[in-house]
Structure formats: structure tokens, C-alpha cells
Structure 1
Amino acid sequence: MEGFNSNNQKAYLSLRVETKVPADNSKSLWEEIRTTGHHPTRRSYHSAVMWGDKMVIYGGQDLKEGPQSGMWMIEISQFDQGDWEEMKIPDIGPLCRHTAVLKGDLMYLFGGTNSHREFNRTLVYNLRTLQHREIVPDNPQIPPALDSHSACLYEDGTAAWMIIFGGYSIGERTNNVYLLNLNTEKWKQAKISNGPEPRSNHSAIIYRDHMYIFGGTSDEGEKLNDLWRLDLRTYAWENVVGIGNVPSGRSGHSAIVFMGHMILFGGMKDITKETNDMYSYNFATSEWVMFQYEHQIKDPVSNEQLEEFKKSRISPNKHANPPKSPMIKKSTAELSPGQSTMRKNTDSSPPDTINPKKKKTLYEGPPCQTSGRIRARPPHPRDGHSAVYSGNIMIIFGGDRHQMPFNDCYVYFLVENTIKTPINIPLS
């Protein structure tokens, strides 16, 4: 365009952002939840379900301290919340990268790893009585040992099903689909073809007799951004090509369903590149909308605290045999082609009862001992977090960034107009 120089272009683009592209107002819909007293340690790749107004988390991992054990519960409503409570349950050992679905008062846990071995067991916890048992299958179609897979609850009018997809199985990623009939407690493997490529740390949700799979990490270590739909009546896969602002490839993100939309939050785009951006996907129109761009949030600890913490972790003889982490992130999520994910047992204890020794950690809870909510404070970029929802609120807990796990908790108020309104990344 004649006479349209670089200064004019910057002015035009600035005017366009200010006048035609809506600002990112989603930040004001976040609240950080702070509680006093006992609370869960930092963790990622745990499981979470919403039981009434209570969020229930189980297990998880701290990359330096190892896999975690135990169950925690906190009551969260739209405007208020209680304190964290550690539930008194038998200790079955640490577990992470497993999945959980809820049916009534029963929470079904499947798979996962304790960093030394993977599991294919199904544990059932009654959240009202805290009694638990293991489902012992009597048919041969039980899934193999899996971690970093997905699980969804699907009810078709005749039965309730827990649907398992993908994940790691004996060192290889898979794309198999298994279903557990929660009425009969029998497994079956779905006979499918031409589905998505094998993957781990993807997201999965159910919407109107379909399971939707997004993203994850491929066998080549690539971060995927494809969307697949499985018809749960015919077991036919379809690759859904979306329009609009399709999210970039990611793994370890979260997904929920709200008002005919799938809501994506966060995840890992690349090694040490986590995000806290948000997208919606309209099931009716196949349109993607980015309604929150990536926000950089100030760390909850100062540089002085960080240096003091680093010094506290140095042993008197720093050249002595340092303790090895029982799990490192690359071994389960970011492998190069050909690498195995078999976990080696470096402990003489039985693998099912390993309980890593607790060490001093830097960030054990909220940055200050106040109770309540801090408005307009979105979460740090992260992956491996959990997202559950109740009514019009989405609750984010935990996750990690640059191998630093969190145990913070946030509420996001879901607004139909906001999730439908695209925004643009600010000009630098």
C-alpha cells in the first residue's frame, strides 16, 4: 500500500487491537484459593474428581521427592471453601499418572505407576465410607499395565462404563480402547481401526455419545494438536478438522465440558515450555476460540528464598552419592524415539509398598498464611495439573512448571460469552 510505512503499520495494528479485537478479560474471572492448616504436598499427574461440592485428589508425583500416596478432600462452592482434609485410608503405596472416574459415591482408580512398575489394577473407593476394594477381573480382555492414559465415565442408558484410551504400556505408547462395565465389573476391548496414533498425556472428555481426544505426546516425542471423535455406539473414529484458532500441540493439559463447549487449559508445548492459555471448542460448529492468552505470573517465592533453599539441599559432602529421583519427567513423558519407559527398581523394598523418604521442599503451600480468595489471579503456566468443574466453576489444582510442582488451587468462573469471544495476543 503506497505511503503505508512501518510506523503506520504499527499504529494500524495497535488501533486494530484496541478497537476491533476484544481485550483478554478472562484474567478477572480467576480466583486463587488459599487455606490455612494442613494441606497436600506439591504434586502433579495426580487424579481428581468432583464429589458434590468436594474436590477429591489422589496420589501424584513430585519429581524430586517421588510419587505420592494418600487422598485429600476440600469443599469448594461458588463463593466459599473449607480447609483441606487428609482422608484416613489404608496406605497402598505411592501412585501417579493413573486415572479416576466417579459414579455416585464410588471413585474408580485405574493403572498408574509408582516409578518402579506400572499397574493395571482397578481400585474402588467409597467416598462416603472410605472403604476400598480391588476389582479382580475374570475375563481375558483386561487392559495391560498402563500409565499416562485417559479415563472417562460414559453412561448409555443400560450401563455405566469407564473408558480407557492410550497411554504407556510396557514402554510403548498405545492407542487401544478398553471399557469396564461398572455394573458387571467386566472388561472388554473395543474393536476399532483407523484411529488416532498412539499417544500419552492427552485429554479426553465425553459429549453426547462420543469421546473426544485432543493432543498428547506421540512416539516421536512430538506435541500433538489433533482432535479425534470416537462414536461410542459404533466404535468408529473420526479425525475432526476444526476451524478458527486451533490450539498448538501440547500434552499434560486439561479439558472439561461446559455449555456445548470443550474447555482446554494449560499443558506443555515443549520441554520447559508450559502454558496457561485457554481455548474453547464448539461441538456444534467445530470452531476453536482462544479466550485467554498466556500470562506470566510472578513466582510465589523470592530469589533470596530460592537461593537459601538451594543451599539447604546441599549435603556436607556434595560429592558423595546423591539420592536419585525415583522418577524424572523425561522418562515418562518426553522420550526420544527408541527409549524404554521400563522403571528400574533401585530399592530393596517390595515395589507395591515403596514410600519415598520425604525431604525439605521449598513451596509447601500458599505463599502466605491467609485464608480466602485472591481475585484476578490466574494460575502459573503448568502441565500435569487436574481440572474438575461444578456448575459454572472450574477448579485447577497442582501440576508443575520446569519440574517444580505446585499444590496451589484456583477457581475459574465459566461465562458463556467469554468462552465464545476470541482475543488476540498483545503486540510486543
Structure 2
Amino acid sequence: MYSNRSQSYRKNYSLKLYPGSPTESHREESEYKYLPLITRVSQEQLDPKWQECKIDGKNLLPRSSSAITIQNNHLYLYGGYQYALGIMQDFYKLNLNAQTFVWQKIKCNYEPGPRCRHSICSFQDNIYIFGGQVADLISTNEIFIHDVKQQQWTKLEVNKTYPLPMDNHCATLYKDQWIIFGGFYSGNQCKHSNDLFSYKFQDNKWVKLNNKKGMEPAPRDGSSITSYNNSVYIFGGKNGDLRYNDLWQFDMLKLEWNFIAINNLNTIPMSRSGHSLICYQNNLILFGGIHDVTWELDDLHSFNLDLKEWKTINFDTSRRQELELRSPPKTNRNPPRQRKPKRLPILLRPLSLRKSPCPSPKKLRPGSQSQYSSYSIKNQNNYASPDLSQCQSNLNNQNNTTIQTTLNNVQERKRWEQQKQKTAMLKLFEVENREIMNFQDDCNVAEKLKTSIILIGNPKQDLKLKKGILTEFGQQIISKFLLPLTGGQNTINGKKPCARDGHAVVVFNDSMILFGGDRHTMSFNDLYLLNLNQV
């Protein structure tokens, strides 16, 4: 588990400051010695189906592999994982009907402890937590119950019907049962699972459902499950490095698996794990996940259960930058080595091409004494050189001081040539300042930090907004992460989540709530709403 925007929207806008102006706005602008250059908001980047929730007060720590559920119009969250902090054990709730969204930490005398890749659900007045990873390579099969009214945790007694300790499974509610599929068995088993269990809340008893022989999904973890009518559906998952994009249905009445064949193979979503799957009316809604190493997804798909067809709502844009901007050709590679032409023996060459068998001392290189000896005795084609005795006598008459001076000159020229090659190679990597912006990643964290610095350094916040309408000055310093709030004071319309996996989702009224996840080991703590009526 380890964000990307198109570069075509990056432009620099500047605002001219006039020394004197009769208008009030110009007088206000002239009070500022600098104006930051912020990219304007592009309407094409907005998606009306999505809304980002504005958190009032202190936000949660970024995390992935957490679990959320709804209880009495409140969103409850427990645990999660962050690369820098490890497995978490905090417990929070958020009032979804409030005018402002505030995370409230729930403190209890007794808690389940660190937990990630677990499952959580709400049934009647209680919240249940099952399984998950509690430490490195250590999972559990314990169930904890949280009494919402009393605000206290209780651990249930594990009996023989309980499945083995597991994590990274998927779970959903079906009537008065808690259905759990797949996952990874730790301990002595240490293998992936394709078991389907049902938990009866009243009896504290587990029942294995897939006992019949026949086709069934391959063992996997990181898949997603949801229920509709008298069936449960699962999609995707992984078994080691192998990821799936198959869709299965389990008939809760017949207790058997059915593989759903798709007629149009071009509409099937890519294989993935760590994604989310929910059911709304007669459609399955699929979002995100990870397709390959460092390839998280932000696509949105729907599957019509009546027509048995996939429909792509939003294509994956996580690698749009790579598709639009091809990598420049590598010009720093050495040219291909050309074979040297074969040289004829001296005696067989034309007279115009013959060279003296006694090379000049100026062309000698360090250590060339032995090279010359070899060359003088026999050349490349094992032919003896003529006038060998004359060459030897000429060499013996050379002054040792002259040879040493020549060698020093050759070494100095060699060092100069190496320095020249090094300078030429470094020049290939020089990038102008105006081109650096084309290679910068439009990361939401960096953009938010930039916006925070601007807001802190700007002493006059009232110049941005006047009677709820942006002024001309405010449009220049407002960023796309501080869009004007519409449809309420606690959400930003049109802001959609970036590519991620390991996020948590839940259905509330006609919306899907999405929290957290991570990308390239960078975790998120953002909260989004997806209007399911617009999917």
C-alpha cells in the first residue's frame, strides 16, 4: 500500500499592482508587497457527484486499513495503520447531521487495543469488532462489543465455532447475520482463505456456509463484499502477487457459489485489491483499490444486477500524467560502439596507407613501454614488422627526461578530456526554473500546505470574501482546495478523492461515505461523500 493531476491546467497568473488607482480594490491591492501565484480552479476538474467534508477542529491522524460504521446518524471509526506510527487503537465518532463535522474521541476504561485490517458493524444498539491484525504477523479472531449508551467495551468468549485468527477479510450485514469472506490466516496456517462464515449475534455462534462441493472463488484477501436481496457479492482481491477482477454471487438460500460471467469483457474493471464495493438499489458500486505496485486507482464503476453489465462512471486518472507526458528521449546514453575496420598487415597495405613502424614518442601513453614491445614484436595479424632492429636502436637513444615529460603531458590532457566529458554530461540534466513546474506533482498535501502558508501570512482575510462573494483580489489567492462552499457549510462540492487503496466506506441515506486510505505509503485522513443518485 503504498496523488496525480494533468499538467495541462498548470498556468501562471500574475496580478499587476498599479501605483495609483481611483477604485477601492486597487487601493487595497497596493497595500500588499507580494501576491502569491496560485493556479486557478479549473471547472473541468470538478465532479458534481463528490463532496469533501470539511472537518472543524483537530482532524484525525492519517491512516489506512481502518473500519467505519453508522450508528444513530453517527459515524464510528476504530483503529487503522500508518507507515510511520504502526497499528492504531483510537476510537472516534462524528455526527453526520451536524452543521459542522467534528471528530469526537471516545475514551473507555477497557478497549480492544491496536487493530487494523479488521471488520466493524453496528447491530441494534451495539457496535461489533472482529478479527484484524494486532501486531506484526499476529492476527486475532476475537469479537468485542461496544455499548453505545454505556460507552464501554466487552469481549465475547471465543468458542469452538470461531474461525481461525485472520485479517484483511471483508464483511457485510445480511439481515440478522454478519457475513465474513476470505482473509489471511496467521499463526500455523499462514495461508489465504476462501471460507464464508456467518455470525449469529444472538447466539454468539459462527457457521461455515461454503460446505457444498462445486465452483467457488480462489483463496484471497483484500477483496470486498456486499449484500443484496438474498445474495452476497464479492469482487477482486489478491493471493500473493496475483490480483483478481472476478465477480461472484453466493445464494444465501441455496448456500452455493455462482460465477457471474460478463458478456462485454472490455467493460470489466481492472484487477485490484484494497478497493470498496457497496450496493445501492440494484447496482454494485466499485471504487479505487490497487492494481499493481505503486499503481493505486481512482476509477468508479457500477454493475447492474438485472442486466449483468459493468458500466464505467469515471476512468482511472492516476496515470493520466504519464500518458499525456511521454518520457523525453534519453540523450545521455553513449553512442553505439562501432566496430573498428580490420587493418591489413603493413606489407600488404598500399604505400599511401603505410605508417612508420616506429611511432613518435609524443603519442606514447602511460604504460606504453610494454604495449610498444608487444606491438613491435608482432602486430595484430601476427606479422613481423620490418626494420625491427632500427626501431629498437632509435628508442634506446631517446632521453628519459623527454619521455617522462611526454607522459605527464598525456596524463594532463587525459584529465582535461575527462573533466570536459563530465561537464557535458551534467549539462544534460540542467532544467530551467520555468520547466520545473511541469515535473512537479500536484499533490493535495503540498497544495494544502501552500494554502495554509498563504492564509497565515495574509493579515487581511476580509479582502478575500465580501458578503459571501469572492472579490477580484480573493480570486487570485484562493486555491482549488479552498473552493467556495456550496450546498452547506461543511462540504466542498465537486472535490473528488485521489487514487488510493485501503480506504473504508459505508452507506448513509443516499450517499457513500469514504474515509482515509493510502497511496505509496502516504496515508490520508480525508472524508468524502458520493451522491449515489448521480452514479
**Structure 1 gaps, min length 5:** 1-23, 307-366, 420-428
Q: Is 1:227 paired with 2:345?
A: no
TM-score, normalisation: structure 2: 0.58
Q: Is 1:211 paired with 2:247?
A: no
Determine the structure 1 residue equivalent to 2:47: 27
Distance, in Å, in 2 between the alignment partners of 1:230 and 1:391 is 26
CA contact 2:80–2:87 (8 Å) conserved in 1: yes
Determine the structure 2 residue equivalent to 1:400: 518
Determine the structure 1 residue equivalent to 2:17: none
Deviation at 1:373, TM superposition (A): 2.0
1:299 is aligned, of 443, 446, 458, to 443
Distance, in Å, in 1 between the alignment partners of 2:99 and 2:254 is 43
Residues 70, 76 of structure 1: alpha-carbon distance in 2 compared, 3 angstrom cutoff: same
Distance, in Å, in 2 between the alignment partners of 1:126 and 1:258 is 28
User: Secondary structure of the residue that 1:285 maps to in structure 2?
Assistant: coil
Residues 373, 98 of structure 1: alpha-carbon distance in 2 compared, 3 angstrom cutoff: same
RMSD value over aligned CA atoms? 2.4
Distance, in Å, in 1 between the alignment partners of 2:515 and 2:81 is 13
User: Secondary structure of the residue that 1:38 maps to in structure 2?
Assistant: coil
Deviation at 1:81, TM superposition (A): 4.2
Q: Is 1:254 paired with 2:280?
A: no
Distance, in Å, in 2 between the alignment partners of 1:109 and 1:180 is 12
CA contact 1:27–1:292 (8 Å) conserved in 2: no
Q: Is 1:86 paired with 2:102?
A: no
**One-letter identity of the residue aligned with 2:147:** N
TM-score, normalisation: structure 1: 0.72
CA contact 1:272–1:401 (8 Å) conserved in 2: yes
User: Secondary structure of the residue that 2:171 maps to in structure 1?
Assistant: strand
CA contact 2:125–2:147 (8 Å) conserved in 1: yes
Distance, in Å, in 2 between the alignment partners of 1:391 and 1:124 is 25
**One-letter identity of the residue aligned with 1:164:** I
**One-letter identity of the residue aligned with 1:169:** Y
Distance, in Å, in 1 between the alignment partners of 2:445 and 2:178 is 40
**One-letter identity of the residue aligned with 2:47:** K
Residues 60, 407 of structure 1: alpha-carbon distance in 2 compared, 3 angstrom cutoff: same
The structure with the largest strand share of the pair is: 1
User: Secondary structure of the residue that 1:301 maps to in structure 2?
Assistant: helix
Deviations 1:255-288 (A, max 9, x none): 1111211111111111111111101111111111
1:288 is aligned, of 303, 310, 323, to 310
Distance, in Å, in 2 between the alignment partners of 1:261 and 1:283 is 6
CA contact 1:70–1:91 (8 Å) conserved in 2: no
Structure with max Cα Rg: 2
How many pairs are equivalent? 327
Determine the structure 1 residue equivalent to 2:208: 189
**Structure 2 gaps, min length 5:** 1-43, 319-440, 451-480
Distance, in Å, in 1 between the alignment partners of 2:256 and 2:201 is 22
Determine the structure 2 residue equivalent to 1:164: 180
Q: Is 1:382 paired with 2:500?
A: yes
Determine the structure 2 residue equivalent to 1:36: 56
**One-letter identity of the residue aligned with 2:183:** G
2:299 is aligned, of 277, 281, 284, to 277
Deviation at 1:82, TM superposition (A): 2.6
Determine the structure 2 residue equivalent to 1:364: none
Structure 1 residue ranges, 4+ long, deviating more than 4 angstroms after superposition: 303-306
Q: Percent identity?
A: 29
The 5 Å alignment of 1:118-197 reads 118-138=139-159, 140-155=160-175, 160-170=176-186, 171-190=190-209, 191-193=211-213, 194-197=215-218
**One-letter identity of the residue aligned with 1:122:** I
**One-letter identity of the residue aligned with 1:249:** S
User: Secondary structure of the residue that 2:47 maps to in structure 1?
Assistant: helix
Determine the structure 2 residue equivalent to 1:70: 90
Determine the structure 2 residue equivalent to 1:267: 289
Residues 120, 276 of structure 1: alpha-carbon distance in 2 compared, 3 angstrom cutoff: same
Distance, in Å, in 1 between the alignment partners of 2:101 and 2:247 is 37
Distance, in Å, in 1 between the alignment partners of 2:140 and 2:304 is 36
**One-letter identity of the residue aligned with 1:167:** G
Residues 294, 142 of structure 1: alpha-carbon distance in 2 compared, 3 angstrom cutoff: same
CA contact 1:31–1:378 (8 Å) conserved in 2: yes
Determine the structure 1 residue equivalent to 2:220: 199
